[in-house]
Amino acid sequence: MRALVLRAFTAVTLAPWSMSPSAARADDRPAPEHDDAAWAYPKRGLSFFPDGPGKGNDRVSLGGVWQIAPMVTASYMRGLGSGFSFDTRFKTIVVFNQLGLGTQWATHVGPFSVGLMGHVDGFFGTLGKALIATTSFDAVGWGVLVEPGAKAGIQVSSDSWLTLQLETYLSVFQGTKLGNTVLRPDSATYAGFGLTLVVEYSPRKTGAFFYGASFYDTAANYPIWFNVEASGSTDTFSARKISYLGLVAGYEL
């Protein structure tokens, strides 16, 4: 009886030490961080996240932006494959209208999606007689902007993606007509930059809500085409910069 008890005690005591190293490591392995299916990228992609909509997919986005003044925005993006996508975008507050075309390219670096982008936008605006026939004030503005930029994004939850976007503004041509006086800068000018942090939320992996905040450092007359510091055809356009905050929000169809 004493020998039987001794053998049982020895078996229980040595059992953990007799476990194979591979079995011990298997028990110590951490559980997966998340379910891959639940963390899948939306089938038609996203508009702000660098990966874009993906080859052959389309995204239409409607929303608004507050940049000096509130503006209505709309955009269309299509994936071209190999990380490339094409887009066209429009924003307006009636007195200021901007339409542009652009492209972007993206790749992955570790958990991050990073990309480069570029746009060419034309703008036109009017204030005065075109809107209020009885006013004596009359102004028209027009121009072309080139806007290169870069972005980086990361998925932060199963249904949310975070993107930081930097866009610079180069005014290659600009004109302002105040009454009978037309003002034009002598050459292309650097008009500043905008830095935007955007969250895209897609709980059903179909449409997506987006919202974010921006920091701008731009010329005093951007994006509104008036330059209050110029008053005659011999005046130069001021390069003075101002800093301000903005907001962006909308929905991706």
Q: What is the pLDDT of residues 234-252, one digit of tens each?
A: 455 666 889 999 999 999 9
CATH, domain range 44-252:
2.40.160.20
224: its two tokens: 């509104």
pLDDT: which is higher, 132 or 205: 205
How many separate helices (H) and strands (E) can be counted in the chain?
Answer: 2, 11
The set of residues, in sequence order, having a beta carbon less than 8 Å from that of 245 and lying 6+ positions away, is: 213, 214, 215, 216
Most confident option among 7-11, 110-114, 175-179, 226-230: 110-114
| pLDDT at 84 > cutoff 80 | yes
Q: Report the distance separating Cα 81 and Cα 226, nearest Å.
A: 40
| Nearest one of 61, 117, 69, 65 to 89, comparing CA atoms | 61
User: Radius of gyration of the chain from Cα atoms?
Assistant: 28
What string of DSSP letters covers 16-49? HHHS-HHHHHHHHSPPPSS-TTTTPPPTT--SSS
What is the arithmetic mean of pLDDT over 204-216? Answer: 96
Model's pTM, two decimal places? 0.78
**In the chain, where the domains are located:** 44-252
